[in-house]
Amino acid sequence: MSDEYKEMDEVPLEPGMGEEENGGYSKMDLPAGLLGGTPITQEMIFSKANEMMDQMLDIKELMLCYSAAIQEIRTKLSILNKEYEVRYQRNPINNIQSRLKSQVSIMQKLDKKGLLINRENIEENIYDIAGVRVICAYEDDIYRMAEALTKQADIELVRVKDYIKEPKPNGYRSLHLIVKVPVYFEETVKKVYAEIQIRTIAMDFWASLEHQLKYKKSNIENPEHLMQQLKQCSDMITLTDHYMMKIRKEMDGVQVEKNDVEQLMEKLKRFGVQLAEE
C-alpha cells in the first residue's frame, strides 16, 4: 500500500477515510456476540459504538499531531531555503512534498511487525506516519539541508539511512532521516516521529518510475528486463548528478568583477526590488 506525497501546505487529517467502510477499524474490534450465537442487546451495540467512537476520536487527535509535525518540518525547510535565496541567490530545495500515512497502511505495517493495533503501538513503532519528501537540486544540497535541519535544537535525530552512499541493489538512492519533532498544544508538548526523505530531482524521477514498476510488475511479462534497465538508469543518473554538482561548484568559484552600479543593482535584487529591465 502506498500513500501519495503531495506538494501542499495543508495536510488532511484523514487520508485513509473513505478507503475503508469502517474508517480503518478491523473486525477484531467486534464483540463476540456479533460473530457467535449470543443474542445482541441494544445496550451492547451502543456500548460498542461508543467505544469505537472513542477510538476514532483518539486516532483523529493523534493524526493532528502528525499533521502538525509535517507543517513544522515544512516551515523549517522553507525558511532554510529562503535563507539560502537571500544569502546566495539560489534555492537548494526544488520542492517539498508531504503525506500523512493512511490508516490502512498504518494497520498493514503494524500487522507486518506482528503488533496489535492500538495507539501505543502506533506511536512507538511506526516512524513514517508523518512523511516529508525534500527534492534538492544537487547532491551536496541534500546533506547541507539534512545537517541544517537536524542541528536545530528542537529536532531529535533518531536514525539515518543513507541510500546515496549505499544505494539499494535495485538502484534506489535517497537520504532517509527519522526525527522526533515537538508539537506544541494548549497544555501539552508531544514529541512525534517523522520520516524525511531527501533526494535530487534525478533521484526522485527515478524513484517514481521504479515505484510504478513495483505495482505493475505482476502484469508485465519480463519485469527483470525492466528492472535491469532501471538499474542502469540509476547508474547514469548518479554520474549526471555528480557532473552537474562539479560544474556548479566550478561556477561557484568564478568571481565576476562588478562595478559600483552593478553591485548596487545586485543588492537591490537580493532585497526583492524588481528592476525595470527585467
Indicate the residue among 213 and 245 with the shorter CB distance to ligand 0O2.
213
Residue nearest to ligand 0O2 (CB): 172
What's the CA gap between 25 and 107, in Å, rounded? 9
Angle, helices 42-88 vs 139-150, to 10°: value is 120
Three-state secondary structure call for residue 117: coil
Active-site choice (10, 147, 166, 195): 195
Active site residue 278: no
Q: How far apart are CA 246 and CA 91, in angstroms?
A: 17
Q: How far is the CB of 189 from ligand 0O2 (least distance, A)?
A: 24
CB of 159 to ligand 0O2, least distance (A): 8
The cell 543588492 sits on which residue? 267
Q: How far apart are CA 166 and CA 143, in angstroms?
A: 14
- Report which DSSP code applies to 27: G
Using the minimum distance from each CB to ligand 0O2, give the nearer residue, 76 or 101.
Answer: 101
Indicate the residue among 231 and 248 with the shorter CB distance to ligand 0O2. Answer: 231
User: CB-wise, 84 or 127, nearer to ligand 0O2?
Assistant: 127
Point out which residues bind ligand 0O2 (CB under 6 A): 2-3, 127-128, 131, 161, 168, 170, 172, 176, 207, 210-211
| Alpha-carbon separation of residue 208 from 56, 111, 151, 231 (angstroms) | 33, 26, 30, 14
Q: In the 8-state DSSP scheme, what is residue 17?
A: B
Of 84 and 101, nearer to ligand 0O2 (C-beta) is 101
Burial status of residue 145 (CB atoms within 10 A of its CB: 0-12, 13-18, 19 or more): buried
Please report how close the Cβ of residue 211 comes to ligand 0O2 at its closest, in angstroms.
Answer: 4
Closest approach, Cβ 127 to ligand 0O2, in A, equals 5
Question: 174 with 210: CB under 8 angstroms?
Answer: no
β-bridge mates for residue 156, sequence order: 180
Least Å distance, CB 269 to ligand 0O2, is: 38
Alpha-carbon gap, residue 94 to 134, rounded angstroms: 8
| Neighbour tally for 70: CB within 10 Å | 24
Smallest distance, ligand 0O2 to C-beta of residue 270, A: 37
Residue with smaller CB distance to ligand 0O2, 2 or 50: 2
Coil vs helix vs strand at 155: coil
Residues noted as catalytic: 195
